[in-house]
Amino acid sequence: MNLLLLEPQHWLNDDQALIQDERAKHAFQILKLSAGDCITLGQLGGNVGFGRVAEINQEQLKIEDIKLNTLPPPALPLTLILGMPRPQMLKRILQTVATMGLTRLCLIQSSRVEKSFWQSPSATEAAIRAQLILGLEQGMATQLPEVQYFRRFRPFIEDELTSIAADTQRLIAHPVADFSVDQAKTNQPTTLAIGPEGGFLDPEVERFREAGFDSVHIGSRILKVETAVPVLLAKLYQC
């Protein structure tokens, strides 16, 4: 935890906040904070800054003299369309994309996505939000990615994809691709589609291509989704 994110329910007044969750225990046991120590803070959706620990134990952390005067790192102008991953992989990917500054995540159904993935406790809105918050605190950022859920592939492609990808560079990761991602435009508004483990089926790739997506590859090696995501983001945004 490189930064502690504050939400409206945490504020006691204009310059004091109270945390009563696992992060208080983490600050006390792992970070070894004590009264008087300085702590890095951020307001969810707002600025970052510092505060002073007033009281701390395993159950609560009270912070005072809070000053949030610095802009957070800018979010990436990126929408990631992702075939719903396996539950344990989903957790890691969520933290990664939040740390790296993703703006929007669209989780979709495709042929290789098991429908049971959607019923996992890891796939609830609350669980997804919790992992995104962890990623923001790791990356010292405050902008929570927007998450959308599409449980049927065809309606997503036919009814949603055009508006989601409007006015962006459109790319789909695929081992047999038109060109390397290194040849794509960098630091541009982009909609990037990545399949689930095993990838999109060829007919699914073709539907994306019909919607104006160029297929790109990373190289000759086939990476796991959780590895491919940060590699692609780093190449596209030089981060």
CATH number at residue 182: 3.40.1280.10
Are 71 and 34 in contact, with CB atoms under 8 Å apart? no
Three-class DSSP category at 205? helix
pTM of the model: 0.93
Q: Are strands 48-56 and 214-217 parallel, antiparallel or unpaired?
A: unpaired
> Of 53, 70, 87, which marks where a domain is finished?
70
Residue 1, pLDDT score: 81
Domain match, 63 and 98 both: no
Domain match, 204 and 94 both: yes
Domain match, 40 and 141 both: no
Three-class DSSP category at 22? helix
Domain match, 203 and 113 both: yes
Residue 239, pLDDT score: 67
CA pair distance 137, 2, nearest whole angstrom: 6
The two three-digit tokens of residue 212, written as one number: 């104006």
Three-class DSSP category at 170? strand
> Of 24, 51, 70, which marks where a domain is finished?
70
Task: Give the side-chain half-sphere CA count within 13 A for 92.
Answer: 11
Domain match, 221 and 172 both: yes
Written as tens digits, the pLDDT of the chain (239 aa) is 899 999 999 999 999 999 999 999 999 999 999 999 999 999 999 999 999 999 999 999 999 999 999 999 999 999 999 999 999 999 999 999 999 999 999 999 999 999 999 999 999 999 999 999 999 999 999 999 999 999 999 999 999 999 999 999 999 999 888 789 998 889 999 999 999 998 999 999 999 999 999 999 988 788 899 999 999 999 999 76
> Of 50, 70, 90, which marks where a domain is finished?
70
CA pair distance 143, 45, nearest whole angstrom: 5
Domain match, 101 and 65 both: no
Domain match, 121 and 59 both: no
- Return the CA Rg of the chain: 20
In terms of Cα–Cα distance, which of 136, 125, 147 is closest to 45?
A: 136
Q: Tell me the residue range of the domain where 119 lies.
A: 78-237
Domain match, 231 and 121 both: yes
Domain match, 90 and 177 both: yes
In total, how many domains does the chain have? 2
Domain match, 83 and 170 both: yes
Domain match, 91 and 167 both: yes
Residue 238, pLDDT score: 78
Residue 110, pLDDT score: 96
CATH number at residue 14: 2.40.240.20
Domain match, 26 and 106 both: no
Single-letter residue type at 223: L
